[in-house]
């Protein structure tokens, strides 16, 4: 997603708001990987573009709605979250050529634009919940018939004989998220 920054570059102190809801596809598919299908609805940008001596500082929030399956019963779960961002898009012509640091973000198109795609994708990937549960005590699916145990007892609860080799694991009190 390219955003024009003419009028900002070279005018430190200028600022411009960028408040917009943008379809997730606008930010491309690589490298969202498995995350791309989980974004539900538009991405809410609430950003300020501040002209600074080195380039343009982008700060504000990026809001996502994602739909992830419950890790136990596979019911889709909606999550909304907001990620704070603050990234400098530097003027590459002012970069110190001896600077060994990661080049990070740069102004493009002869200093007339920035591309927000990577920034937005990174914001999602960093904050995407790794494991969703519809509720802490979700009963999950029956391993015998596949029924959702939250919907009632399918009658198989006692048929599953735990393998004694796994019993020690089952007795471990693992922390839950």
Work out the end-to-end distance of the chain between its first and last CA atoms, rounded to an integer number of angstroms: 35
The piece of 35-43, 66-74, 102-110, 115-123 that touches Zn ion (CB under 5 A) is 66-74
Q: Could you give the string, one character per residue 70-109, with x where binding to Zn ion holds by CB under 5 A and - elsewhere?
A: x-xx------------------------------------
43-52 and 2-4 beta bridge pairing: unpaired
Instruction: Note whether 145 binds Zn ion by CB under 5 A.
Output: yes
- From residue 59, alpha-carbon distances to 83, 108, 118 in Å are 11, 18, 14
* 121-140: contacts with Zn ion (CB under 5 A): 134, 138
Q: How many beta carbons lie within 10 A of that of residue 159, not counting itself?
A: 11
Closer of 66 and 138 to Zn ion (Cβ): 138
Q: For the chain, how big is the Rg over CA atoms in Å?
A: 23
Q: Summarize as ranges the residues that interact with Zn ion (CB under 5 A).
A: 70, 72-73, 134, 138, 142, 144-145, 147, 154, 156
């Amino acid at each position: 997603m390219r955003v024009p920054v003419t009028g900002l570059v070279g005018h430190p102190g200028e600022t411009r708001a960028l408040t917009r809801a943008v379809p997730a596809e606008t930010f491309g598919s690589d490298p969202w990987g498995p995350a791309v299908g989980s974004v539900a609805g538009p991405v809410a940008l609430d950003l300020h573009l501040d002209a600074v001596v080195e380039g343009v500082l982008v700060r504000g929030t990026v809001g996502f709605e994602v739909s992830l399956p419950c890790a136990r019963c596979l019911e889709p779960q909606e999550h909304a979250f907001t990620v704070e961002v603050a990234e400098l898009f530097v003027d590459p012509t002012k970069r110190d050529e001896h600077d060994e640091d990661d080049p990070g973000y740069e102004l493009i198109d002869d200093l007339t634009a920035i591309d927000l795609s990577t920034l937005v994708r990174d914001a999602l990937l960093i904050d995407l919940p790794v494991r969703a549960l519809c509720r802490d005590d979700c009963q999950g699916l029956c391993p015998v018939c596949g029924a959702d145990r939250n919907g009632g007892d399918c009658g198989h609860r006692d048929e599953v004989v735990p393998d004694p080799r796994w019993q020690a694991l089952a007795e471990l009190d693992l922390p839950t998220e």
